[in-house]
Structure formats: structure tokens, C-alpha cells
Amino acid sequence: MDNKNIYEKYDWEKLSLKKLQPKIEKILTWIPSDVKTILDVGCGNGVITNILSEHFDVTAVDRSKKALSYVKTKKVKASADDIPLKDRSFDLAFSSEMLEHLDDKTLKDTIRELKRLSKKYIFITVPNGENPAKLAIQCPSCGYVFNRPNHLRSFKLSDFQVLFSELKVIRSHAFGPRTRYYQPALLKIKLKATPSSAWVPYYWIPKADRHTICSKCEHEFEYPYKFHPIASAIDMLNVLVSPKKPYWLFVLMEKK
Ligand SMILES: [Zn+2]
């Protein structure tokens, strides 16, 4: 992650149980019956962790002190790529919506940590093959263009088969609210040909939700929307060529 402070400034209360309830119920049904201990890496505000801890012996890891203040189980303040715990300490290493936030080097080191700390299983959830540039916004202060939820990459099932090649995928499934993909070539044209105020319409992200923090300069702002005919035409074209698909990808792996 290029900027550590944004996670201290982040409004962690926005991540509520109400929104994530169906996902958490699904996660609980996926955890193999021989699992007793779980390491939750990048637990955020613990909205999932706290429920897991009602059923399992859970240790939570996050780099943000503010996020950890909401976590009600054992917790370790550490970066996912350098966790000060012993090898093979947990039946299951778990991580939900975290890997997509990592740069190349941090991702590599985080995956090494997940493999090292797990005794048997690794369970990952990530956005399902999204195109992060779909939610590109531009900071009015420094001009930096970034994905609004700070997603730097996307994953398909085949990526896990490469990144975790020593493990066996024992279950995988796309699940959750159906979200429209954005065709990369069309998106490229839109971002080049139209002003940043036309990129993210209100029907994607409502007005009330448009407060954000620049991941480069930490400037806080509301990103605007101003209708632009070309942006709108490209969005319509994209509806014709890009399917909607379930938002999350769940992948459960076992050490061979
Ligand atoms: Zn900025």
C-alpha cells in the first residue's frame, strides 16, 4: 500500500454488519469442520472477525490501530506482509477483501506470510475479476488518479492457481450482488476523452457516499459528477458488451 495513513483516517464505521451479513453467513458455511484456530489477516474493523470469534479461536491482524479498536478478539497490530507470529500456528489463514489493495511487492510478501502461518487451509475472498479503473476518480488537489476503494488489482480463480501453486483449490465460488464489469478498452477511451467529473455517475455511487481521501496527498474531498455526453454514451455502450457478475470471489485452498 502506497499510503499507510489513509487507513487511520478511514471511516471504519461505514463497513457495517448489515451490508456484509449474507457474506459472513456464507463464510461460516465454508470453513471446514476440522478448523479450530483462524488467523484473520487484514481484519479491518472486525465486522467479520468478531462473528468468526463467536465460533472459533480467532487472532486478528491489521496495520491500522483505529481499525483494530473495533475488534473484540485477540489482535496483533502488524502489516500483512510481516506478521510476528510462529509458522503453522493456525488451522486456517483467512483474508477478506484485502489482497486487492496491495502493490506487487506487498502482495508477494503477504502471500508468503499466509502460506507460512497456515497449518492446513487458506481462505481468501476478493472482488471477482473487477476492473478497478471503473471507479477511477481524480484528486482535485494533486491530480492523482486512483480507484475509489483503493483497489490496485483484480483476481480471477486462475490467479490463485498461480499465486498459491503449492496449495490445492478445494472450493471456489462467485457470490454476492451482481455488479457490471467495465470493458477495459472502452474504459480507457472514456478516461482519456472525458473530464474526471464525468467518470463516476451518481447512479453508480450516490451523492451521500462520495466523500473520499486521496491515497497520495491525503486531501479529503467529495468527488463531483457532471454529465458529459461522450462519457454517458460510452457507459451505455459498455452496458451492451459487459455482463453483470457476482461481486465476490471465494477461494478455499488446502496445503498438499
Ligand atoms: Zn491528492
Contact (Cβ atoms closer than 8 angstroms) between residue 131 and residue 190: no
Q: Indicate the residue type of 57.
A: D
Report pLDDT for 1: 45
Q: Give dist(CA 90, CA 76) in Å, integer.
A: 14
Q: Give dist(CA 119, CA 138) in Å, integer.
A: 43
Cα–ligand 1 centroid distance for 74 (angstroms): 35
Cα–ligand 1 centroid distance for 106 (angstroms): 22
The tens place of each residue's pLDDT in the chain, 256 residues long, gives: 445 677 777 777 777 777 788 899 999 999 999 999 999 999 999 999 999 999 999 999 999 999 999 999 999 999 999 999 999 999 999 999 999 999 999 999 999 999 999 999 999 999 999 999 999 999 999 999 999 989 999 999 999 999 999 999 999 999 999 999 999 999 999 999 999 999 999 999 999 999 999 989 999 999 999 999 999 999 999 999 999 999 999 999 999 9
Cα–ligand 1 centroid distance for 141 (angstroms): 5
Cα–ligand 1 centroid distance for 209 (angstroms): 18
Per-residue cell: 182: 467495465
Cα–ligand 1 centroid distance for 100 (angstroms): 21
Report pLDDT for 17: 74
Cα–ligand 1 centroid distance for 138 (angstroms): 8
Q: Give dist(CA 96, CA 240) in Å, integer.
A: 31
Domains of the chain in start order, with CATH, are 6-255 (3.40.50.150)
Report pLDDT for 3: 58
Cα–ligand 1 centroid distance for 15 (angstroms): 23
Cα–ligand 1 centroid distance for 103 (angstroms): 18
